[in-house]
Structure 1
Amino acid sequence: MAASTRAPSSLRSAIRQLWKVSPRVQAARAELEAARARASASAQPLYNPELAVDAENADVNRRTAGLSLALDLSGKRRARTAQGEAELRVSEASFTLARREIAARWLKAWSSANLAGRQRELGQRRLTLMQRFDQVAAQRLKVGDISAPERDLAGLALGEAQMQQASLLSGEASAQASLQAIGGAHFTVLPSLPDDLPPAASAIEPRDTESMPELVQAQARLASRDAGVLVARRARIPDPTVSLTGGQVRSGPRTDRVIGVQVAIPLPVLNTGRAEVDAARAEADAAAAGVHAEAQQVQAALQEMQARYTAFRQAAQAFRAGRAGAFEERAALLEKLWRAGEISTSDYLIQLKQSLDTALSGLELESQAWQSWFDYLTAAGRLTDWVDGRSQDDAP
């Protein structure tokens, strides 16, 4: 994977740390370990031997010991093993999806927090300009360069800038809280948002539909339900129990050795198990339909996210290439023109406000480009590859 299609090293470290401390990932890991244990349990023999000891004192003294074992002649163990292995694949896919989900949520919250910080810095720049503008307006009123209403307009502009800055500070605090709610208080220093925009969508080749984690999970769930049908069918077949008994019988002075063999087979008369087979077959049909539905959803999401990301990225590129983002230059020029008396106070404030709003919109546009990039990586099945820096050819 090219360097431009890898996450920055600081961001990769942050995500790896997130995966270690996230309760959501820890829960998914515990579920995976439980699935491994269940898969191991399903591969064990179904029946244990039974030991029976019998003693009787009467006219005839009897001492016998018996050993019995139910025989799995219908393949129940093989069917249970197949179902356990399929359930393990479901849990493995769930673990992959949990890591991807928490990483995507954190990355989007992280980009929002970075945006809020940049907006707050830009708002602070506006507040500084308005404070200086208010001071200069007061001085110019004293010498008669501007009128009293223009002086009042400068004071009103300062008050508005202070309220807007308070709103930006509140927005940054909210964004930081959302980020902390996902990752906890484990990140004292957050990575900065890269100066460059993410690469074009064409730089990332989406995974094949069949290898998407959602499809892997759906296919594994279908395999589990199909195995469940086989388990239910095998359960209908009664397994015989073979018993071997040996001992001795004493009657008066005579002692005889006895050996007995018994074969017992349950009769599936009252409960044939047909209902369980029908239920398992219905669950398998639902799982098969779920695979088709998941495939359609994955393909639709990929097309949508690719189109959205391309649109936002192109718009952000155009914004950067134009003059719309040159806030500092325009602010300095407007202040120079106002001081020279070439524009009025109201014109200065209107144009400065428009310049600031445009700059803030540009930051919002770049944030949307980054968030749609994360959505596209998720839809393409490449988010964890991007975080891990794996080659697309080497990625599983």
Structure 2
Amino acid sequence: MASSSPAPWGAVCLLCALSLGMLFSSTLHASTQPDTSAPWREPIRALWTINPDVQVARADLDAAYARARAADQPLYNPALALEAENADVDRRTAQLSLTLDVSGKRRARATQGQAELRVAQAAYDLQRQLTAQQWLKVWSTLSLATRQRELGQQRLALMQRFDDLAAQRLKVGDISSPERDLAGLALGEAQMQQATLVGNEAAVRAALLALADDTHTIAPPPWPHSFPPSTASMAPRAVADLPQVVLAQAREASADAAIRVAQRNRLPDPTVSLTGGRVRAGPVTDRVIGVSVSVPLPVLNSGRADVDAARADADAAIAKLQGERLRARAALQEAQARYEALRTAAASFQNSRAAAFQERTALQEKLWRAGELGTSDYLVQLKQSLDTALSGLELENQAWQAWFDYLTAAGRLNDWIDGRMQEAAP
């Protein structure tokens, strides 16, 4: 008699349930990863299409494509010469000549053209990254100036209300005349500070318009409510893959190709000519066919100086590449350390009592109205609260700007803009 054995089936069901649960959990975790770059994605892509610096780099890239195609074309075109002579001897001849590229000049120039194309491509990629970084930092500065101006407006409203209340309390004798004057002075100072904040916002907005004057296409997004992620979410690329290093490597390869071009230019190429025609002398007419070969002699200019100059340029390109690698490593270490420090400080500030500006100012005004806080003490504490709130905004802005600097130094700014967050470094 066969007996059922539910234990293995139960284990299988349990295993399936656990697997589905883990899959659902991992999918939910992946889907809840914040995409901090989403608000900037479309504005930056639009920026790349209208920014003058990017347009210049794009035009240089198109020119490099054309020059690469031109460098791969044959160096010499055939030449046709027609000759006619009426004298004692009538001559009618045609000559077809062609210089032969036996030294490999075309191949060397094609190699240099491809190297120059890689230089232009690397310069275009780097310019797009630098333009995006510049726009993001100016935008964050504008967001800071706007929020500071809004906070200053709250300060101005508080001081205006404080001045009105002081005037009322002076009438009933709750405060003295010097305390009333102190409220008026505080209001005047707040008005002057607000004018400064408005001017700062206008200056930063002008800097943003200098990058792209099409304000309808490039609409800056609102300030994000979350902090940028940790640097672990965007591991830096290898030094050799950083845009500025790639550009230096491309220039070094182009300089090497220029040496080979200069060396090939020193070698003369022969010109082969084929002549055919008719020669008539009196009643006698003869057909003539001739072949000639001419080779230029590099006597007056051997081209050695051009080779020496190309080698010196290559040495300079190698040195620049080494320097770029050193600067890239140093910039990455500095940007990473600065960002982590600012991010930690900004998060600590936001989670502390120092960030509770609205609650604190309301409590201070309540205590002053109740007579439990003197006028001078109220002004000192209110000023401290406002200064702390402004410093908190500045700290948060510095954390975001440090994040943009880190992404640039790590060569991951474009990846972040495209939403490729948890991507491992190449």
Q: Do both proteins adopt the same fold according to a TM-score greater than 0.5, normalized to the shorter chain?
A: yes
Whether the aligned pair in 1 keeps the contact of 2:249 and 2:321 (CA below 8 Å) is yes
How many residues were matched structurally? 396
Gaps of 5+ in 1: none
Residues in 2 aligned to 1:254 and 1:168: alpha-carbon distance in whole angstroms: 102
Q: For residue 89 of structure 2, what is the aligned residue in structure 1?
A: 60
- Choose the corresponding residue for 2:126, options 83, 97, 114: 97
Secondary structure of the residue aligned to 2:102 is coil
- Choose the corresponding residue for 2:292, options 262, 273, 279: 262
Identify if the C-alpha distance between structure 1 residues 68 and 7 changes in structure 2 by more than 3 Å, giving closer, same or farther.
Answer: farther
Q: For residue 241 of structure 1, what is the aligned residue in structure 2?
A: 271
The answer on 1:26 being equivalent to 2:55 is yes
Q: CA deviation at 1:170?
A: 1.0
Residues in 1 aligned to 2:215 and 2:145: alpha-carbon distance in whole angstroms: 20
Residues in 1 aligned to 2:393 and 2:239: alpha-carbon distance in whole angstroms: 34
Q: CA deviation at 1:389?
A: 2.0
Encode CA deviations 1:167-226: one digit per residue, 9 max, x unaligned: 111111111111111221424742111011100111111111111111111111111111
Whether the aligned pair in 2 keeps the contact of 1:39 and 1:88 (CA below 8 Å) is yes
2:285 alignment partner AA: T
Q: For residue 311 of structure 1, what is the aligned residue in structure 2?
A: 341
2:84 alignment partner AA: A
Whether the aligned pair in 2 keeps the contact of 1:51 and 1:68 (CA below 8 Å) is yes
Q: CA deviation at 1:364?
A: 0.4
Report matched runs for 1:311-350 at 5 Å.
311-350=341-380
Q: For residue 73 of structure 1, what is the aligned residue in structure 2?
A: 102
Residues in 2 aligned to 1:131 and 1:225: alpha-carbon distance in whole angstroms: 68
Secondary structure of the residue aligned to 1:117 is helix
Q: Percent identity between the aligned chains?
A: 64
- Choose the corresponding residue for 1:151, options 157, 163, 180: 180
Q: For residue 167 of structure 2, what is the aligned residue in structure 1?
A: 138
1:353 alignment partner AA: K
The answer on 1:293 being equivalent to 2:323 is yes
Residues in 2 aligned to 1:394 and 1:201: alpha-carbon distance in whole angstroms: 12
Whether the aligned pair in 2 keeps the contact of 1:385 and 1:395 (CA below 8 Å) is no
Secondary structure of the residue aligned to 1:197 is coil
Whether the aligned pair in 1 keeps the contact of 2:138 and 2:204 (CA below 8 Å) is yes
Whether the aligned pair in 1 keeps the contact of 2:36 and 2:228 (CA below 8 Å) is no
Q: For residue 149 of structure 2, what is the aligned residue in structure 1?
A: 120
Whether the aligned pair in 1 keeps the contact of 2:235 and 2:424 (CA below 8 Å) is no
Whether the aligned pair in 2 keeps the contact of 1:5 and 1:204 (CA below 8 Å) is no
Whether the aligned pair in 1 keeps the contact of 2:100 and 2:271 (CA below 8 Å) is yes
Secondary structure of the residue aligned to 2:75 is coil
Q: CA deviation at 1:10?
A: 3.3
What TM-score comes out, normalization by structure 1 length? 0.97
Whether the aligned pair in 2 keeps the contact of 1:4 and 1:199 (CA below 8 Å) is no
1:93 alignment partner AA: A
- Choose the corresponding residue for 2:231, options 195, 198, 201: 201
1:114 alignment partner AA: S
Whether the aligned pair in 2 keeps the contact of 1:51 and 1:67 (CA below 8 Å) is yes
Whether the aligned pair in 2 keeps the contact of 1:385 and 1:392 (CA below 8 Å) is no
Q: For residue 161 of structure 1, what is the aligned residue in structure 2?
A: 190
Residues in 1 aligned to 2:310 and 2:35: alpha-carbon distance in whole angstroms: 44
The answer on 1:380 being equivalent to 2:402 is no
Residues in 2 aligned to 1:392 and 1:238: alpha-carbon distance in whole angstroms: 57
Secondary structure of the residue aligned to 1:324 is helix
Identify if the C-alpha distance between structure 1 residues 392 and 243 changes in structure 2 by more than 3 Å, giving closer, same or farther.
Answer: farther
Whether the aligned pair in 1 keeps the contact of 2:235 and 2:423 (CA below 8 Å) is no
Secondary structure of the residue aligned to 1:260 is strand
Residues in 2 aligned to 1:134 and 1:249: alpha-carbon distance in whole angstroms: 115
2:357 alignment partner AA: F
Encode CA deviations 1:22-49: one digit per residue, 9 max, x unaligned: 1111111111111110111000000000
Q: CA deviation at 1:3?
A: 7.4
Identify if the C-alpha distance between structure 1 residues 246 and 391 changes in structure 2 by more than 3 Å, giving closer, same or farther.
Answer: farther
The answer on 1:232 being equivalent to 2:262 is yes
Identify if the C-alpha distance between structure 1 residues 21 and 279 changes in structure 2 by more than 3 Å, giving closer, same or farther.
Answer: same
The Cα RMSD (Å) is 1.7
1:156 alignment partner AA: L
